Structure 1
Amino acid sequence: MHYGARQDQYLQFYEPQHITAAGAVMIIHGGYWREKYTAELGVPLAEDLAARGIPAYNLEYRRGPGSAAQMLADARLALGLIKEEGPITLIGHSAGAQLACVLAAHDERVSQVISQAGVLDLESAQHLKLSDGAVDQMLAGASLSAYSPVELWPMRARVVIFHGRDDADVPLRIARSAAQKAAALGQEHSFALFAGDHYTWIDPRSSQWAACVRALSPLHY
């Protein structure tokens, strides 16, 4: 389903043969907001959810330098295409978790965000110059506070913060900082650490992904 004129403005729907869950889940891929990383990263997860009876959507969106506002606009349009009634969970990996949280802060249809190794604190990521200054490239002068999840809390949606102890791409300190700020701000959240690196989360055979699936209960079951 295309929601815009650009080639990268589309939402893939994975329809279960037999629906066993209420609402729907939307996958938002990461890649430090760079165009070379695509929605293909989210396909295995969406397929797995559909096989479990969960209506699943996989988002592609505009990325690249100065894309902060475009990404949010795209995500809002795509969210409007979700036809299922009931709770909506966004599962965002890495930079996709940043977009998921910003979307949830702007649209109350979102009930929950599951952050898989998420870049949830842009100020910390900027200070650490993660991925060769990816935050500055994405913002290109846009307000950091308008697009940093921790600056938008508290919000209505619950946030599940998952992170791997061996993550070399998004340091563990980012997740710890986000969890501390969530607690201080009164943001409903949970925080759990697992073995594994930055990419274990997007392997549908992993125990980390199994934890993400479990986090859909009791909201969707």
Structure 2
Amino acid sequence: MSEHNRTDAATHRGSEVPSRPARPPDRTEVTGPEQTDVYEVWEPAADRARGVTVALVHGGFWREEYDRAHLAPLAEALARDGFHVANLEYARCGMPGGGWPGTGRSVVERLEAVRADTHLPDRVVVVGHSAGGQLALWLASGGRMPWLTGVLALAPAADLAEVDRLGLSDDAVRALLGDPDEHPDAWADADPARQRLTVPAVVVTGDLDDVVPASVVERYVAGRDPSEPLRTAVARGADHFDVIDPTGPAYLLVLAEVEELTLTTH
């Protein structure tokens, strides 16, 4: 099933994935003039704070119609479990600054703003879902953001050549990058599968995912050098959206992997 054809990237199963968090964000930070220059913050209870910021990067195949709202339930849950959470927005295809390299630059700018936020802990773990997983792995590659504690890529569009070969979401990757023959530099720059992983990363997939097929992650993993700091895990019985559902069993795996990344040194 194409993610592009869903009416909402987070509510394909009705009430199973809440469309709204249990509580609104504690604050919203505007970092520039565009509507995408923003992130929302959920704070943990003071007696549960772990001293770690989780920065969420949403999916939606880089398309304008999918924004950060569908990760709000996950943000609230992670804050309840002791993390400071920043839910990031970024420029997508069809928006000012969207496309490549603008989309990547937009995410970098949001993360730099989070890093400069004196009310958030300095240790930052990026959690990205689907297209956001591609962006998370890209951030963790090529020495791009060496200060990150780690990244967790959930059902990521990790190998853009394979995403393109499968024509996922009506050729969404070509909408982002253009034709690979005409824009080879953009494809090389955007694809984490072509770059060395330099920050600890975990890739979590659901074994029932029919939106980003298993071959996308398999090709990414197969291309890693054994020395690269990568781990993988499978959420059994989970589909593409179960991995961001804080009310389901996959959340326990997500939580455990975020915790494990905070113990990683590099």
Confirm or deny a common fold (TM above 0.5).
yes
* Aligned counterpart, 1:120: 158
Per-residue deviation at 1:219? Answer: 4.1
**1:54-133 map, 5 Å:** 54-65=83-94, 67-82=99-114, 83=117, 84-105=120-141, 106-133=144-171
Distance (Å, rounded) in 2 between the aligned partners of 1:122 and 1:103? 15
Look up the SS of the partner of 2:259 in the other structure.
Answer: coil
Task: Give deviations 1:126-154, integer Å, cap 9, x for gaps.
Answer: 11111111111111236211111111223
* Aligned counterpart, 2:254: 212
Distance (Å, rounded) in 2 between the aligned partners of 1:136 and 1:185? 30
**1:1-221 map, 5 Å:** 1-18=29-46, 19-65=48-94, 67-82=99-114, 83=117, 84-105=120-141, 106-140=144-178, 141=183, 143-155=186-198, 157-182=199-224, 184=225, 186-194=227-235, 195-220=237-262
Counting aligned pairs with the same residue, the percent is 27
Distance (Å, rounded) in 1 between the aligned partners of 2:227 and 2:159? 16
* Aligned counterpart, 2:17: none
Distance (Å, rounded) in 1 between the aligned partners of 2:186 and 2:101? 10
TM-score when normalising by structure 1: 0.92
Query: Which deviates further from its counterpart, 170-179 or 16-25?
Result: 16-25
**What RMSD in Å do the two structures reach over aligned CA positions?**
1.7
How many residues are aligned here?
A: 219
Per-residue deviation at 1:87? Answer: 2.5
Look up the SS of the partner of 2:223 in the other structure.
Answer: helix
- Unmatched 5+ stretches in structure 2: 1-28
Answer with 1 or 2: which has the greater Rg.
2
Per-residue deviation at 1:123? Answer: 0.7
Distance (Å, rounded) in 1 between the aligned partners of 2:152 and 2:252? 12
- Unmatched 5+ stretches in structure 1: none
Distance (Å, rounded) in 2 between the aligned partners of 1:218 and 1:129? 34
The 8 Å contact of residues 62 and 93 in structure 2, kept in 1 or not, is answered as yes
The 8 Å contact of residues 42 and 76 in structure 2, kept in 1 or not, is answered as yes
TM-score when normalising by structure 2: 0.77
Distance (Å, rounded) in 1 between the aligned partners of 2:156 and 2:260? 23
